[in-house]
Amino acid sequence: MDLLNALFSSAPWGPVRIGLHLAFGIALLYWLWLAYQLRQAVHLRHLKRPRGWLLPAAGIVVLAFIAIIAYQATWQLGGTARPRFVAFMQSHDRRQFNPAHWIQRGRILDRHGRVLAESRNRDGAAERVYPYGPVFAHAVGYADPRFGLSGIEATANLALNGSMLDSLDDWGELGRQVLTQSKRPRGQDRVTTFDASLQRFAVDALSAAPGGGSGAVLLLRPADGAVLVMASVPSFDPNRLQAGLFSARDPATPLLNRATQGQYPPGSTFKVVMAAQALERGFSGRLDCPADGYTTSRHYPPIRDHEYYSAQDAGRSWAGHGPLDLATALAKSSNVFFAQLGVLGGHPALAATGERLLFNRSIAFAGGASKALSFQTGRLPSIPKRDRYGLAQASIGQGRVTATPAHLALIAAAIANDGLAMRPRLLRDAEPQTLAQLMSSDTARRLRVMLRRAVRDGTGRGIDTDGLEIAGKTGTAENPHGASHSWFVGFAPASSPSLAFAVLVEHGGYGSAVAAPLARDLLLKAAEQGLL
């Protein structure tokens, strides 16, 4: 026994075991051959001659077995041709030696061919490496045998695994892999629309922003929906996934993709929506905006303009805006004006606007039919008919209305693209698709002028830069969790927009002071690359 134990623990046992395995198979073959050889010797002469149905009956049994073993081959040997099966094994099979874990997945590249994800060999198993670490954690996602797939890794899984057998060569390759048992297909590479340097810049800027350094940036091309930056901070490192990340209730919620799923009060950026509604409904004229604000009932505190509060803080008095037209009110971001405008428009108009601007939806990115990669639009709950104060609050982007950065970027892109929203897309080869006409082209054209004015003369004048011609709307969204969220939403250049964006800095304070400069720096960086 000791001898046997020594043998089993010794180094040569490996080859010996393989030899035993081989001998086992050969012995089985020998047994079958022997049984065939002895068929005459075991002939039972004392029995009757076989009845006529023997051959067909044996044939049926053999055929049934052949059918089953052939079908088994489509799983056991041709499993890579079943993408959902491979995905199942990659997510749920804990056998470390399962070849599904070794598959050399294709690379994920940015628009310049920089590697965002690739598979490398380590100790015989493929290891997924993300050179940018946390920078693309939400957008590119992860592919991990323990934790499954997310992001583009999930939506492009089929091509990345190379599990599409399109040609005879593909079948030949599968045959080679089966025989040598090295199931290591090189999957196809996927080129994304992302710009790695802009994305990294956005992530760094968000991390350094005031208020704890969390937030989101979405930057896309209005003409075809190509997303250049989809940043969400805080993030996690897909190279070092741990169970704790998925189980712990981390208050920083690093798993949450703030750009696509984060619902925030939009604050003054919602005034863009209200302005679009007013233009569509043919509003022209002025509304009086007194210093003591506007309220729907004396039981509710009046909604005032921010100039009133800054004057109060400085110990001065402020006379109010007086009568304002829409363009000026938007540039000055007058709460009093838009609260009145909303109540004037009424409940059904806001509900219709919400419907037209795609509130309360989940929208898939182009090219990925999977649910794994989509973004939520803002929430605009229906406001009870008698709740006029709620309507006034919603009209200035407070109360129960929320928006996601991706949604506001989509609205900005639609304004930049004559009212037509293109479906955002993350893969270069995904066909550009129209999503919806959010407003008439005339409304979009007039909004472009107004939003340019808001940066040139209005709340965003601090970031006006020669040559960039930025148009946009700041937002400072009050929220019950702390300091106001800082927003800046817009596009550039205003006359012929080539980029649209939404920037959110959680608890960053004034939109004009935090989010707007961040957006300007990002646009400067983009201009360096000739994107503007």
Partner 1 sequence: MAAKGTPTTAEETWALRRPERRLLLSALMIALLGYLMLLGARPKDGFAVQLADWAPLLVFAAAFGAVHGAFVIARFRGDQLVLPTTALLSAFGLLAQVRMGLFGETEPDWMELMLLPVALATLVLVALAGRAGRYAMARRATWFWAGLSLLILGVLFVTGQRFRGAVYAVGFITPTELLKLTLVLFTAGFIDQHLKALSRWRSLLPPLRRLWPLLLVWGLITALLLMQRDLGLVLILAVALLVMLVVGTGQPGYALYGLTLAAGAGAALISLFSHGQRRLAVWLDPFADPTGAGWQVLQGLSGMFAGGLWGEGFSEARPRYAPIAESDFIYSVLAEELGYVGSLLLIAVFAVLFIRLLTLAARARTPFGLMVTTGITIVLAVQTLLNLGGVTKALPLTGITLPMISHGGSSLLTVLASLGLVLAISDGEPVKPRAKATAAKKTKTSSSKAPADRKQRARAPSKGAKAGTGRKT
- Residue 272 and residue 473 in contact, taking contact as beta carbons nearer than 8 Å: yes
Of 51 and 299, nearer to partner 1 (C-beta) is 51
Nearest to 353 by CA among 364, 338, 368, 366: 338
Token output for 18 = 């393989």
Dihedral sign computed on CA atoms, order 430, 403, 256, 85: negative
Q: Shortest approach of partner 1 to residue 75 CB, angstroms?
A: 5
Of 168 and 179, nearer to partner 1 (C-beta) is 179
Of 49 and 481, nearer to partner 1 (C-beta) is 49
Residue type, 433: Q
Rounded CA separation 251/243 (Å): 16
Q: Shortest approach of partner 1 to residue 135 CB, angstroms?
A: 31
Rounded CA separation 498/490 (Å): 11
Q: Shortest approach of partner 1 to residue 41 CB, angstroms?
A: 4
Q: Shortest approach of partner 1 to residue 153 CB, angstroms?
A: 17
Of 29 and 208, nearer to partner 1 (C-beta) is 29
Dihedral sign computed on CA atoms, order 101, 105, 109, 114: positive
Residue 102 neighbours by CB under 8 Å, 6+ apart: 124, 125, 126, 183, 184
Of 31 and 246, nearer to partner 1 (C-beta) is 31
Q: Shortest approach of partner 1 to residue 47 CB, angstroms?
A: 4
Of 115 and 178, nearer to partner 1 (C-beta) is 178
Rounded CA separation 484/211 (Å): 9
DSSP 3-state of 190? strand
Write out 398-450 in H/E/C secondary structure: CCCCEECHHHHHHHHHHHHCCCEEECCECECCCCCCEEEECCCHHHHHHHHHH
Interacting residues toward partner 1 by CB under 8 A: 1, 4-5, 7-9, 13, 16-18, 20-21, 23-25, 27-32, 34-35, 38, 40-51, 53-54, 57-58, 61-62, 64-65, 67-69, 71-73, 75-77, 79, 84-85, 88-89, 92-95, 97-100, 178-179, 181, 183
Read off the DSSP letter of residue 42: T
Q: Shortest approach of partner 1 to residue 243 CB, angstroms?
A: 17
Phi, psi of 227, rounded to the nearest 5 degrees = -90, 120
Q: Shortest approach of partner 1 to residue 120 CB, angstroms?
A: 22
Of 64 and 248, nearer to partner 1 (C-beta) is 64
Of 167 and 180, nearer to partner 1 (C-beta) is 180
Residues present in the chain in total: 532
Of 100 and 206, nearer to partner 1 (C-beta) is 100
CA atoms within 13 A on the CB side of 258: 23
Of 243 and 319, nearer to partner 1 (C-beta) is 243
Q: Shortest approach of partner 1 to residue 106 CB, angstroms?
A: 20
Dihedral sign computed on CA atoms, order 289, 291, 297, 301: positive
Q: Shortest approach of partner 1 to residue 146 CB, angstroms?
A: 13
Q: Shortest approach of partner 1 to residue 12 CB, angstroms?
A: 11
DSSP one-letter string for 214-271: -EEEEEE-TTT-BEEEEEEES---TTS--HHHHHS--TT-TTS-HHHH--B--GGGHH
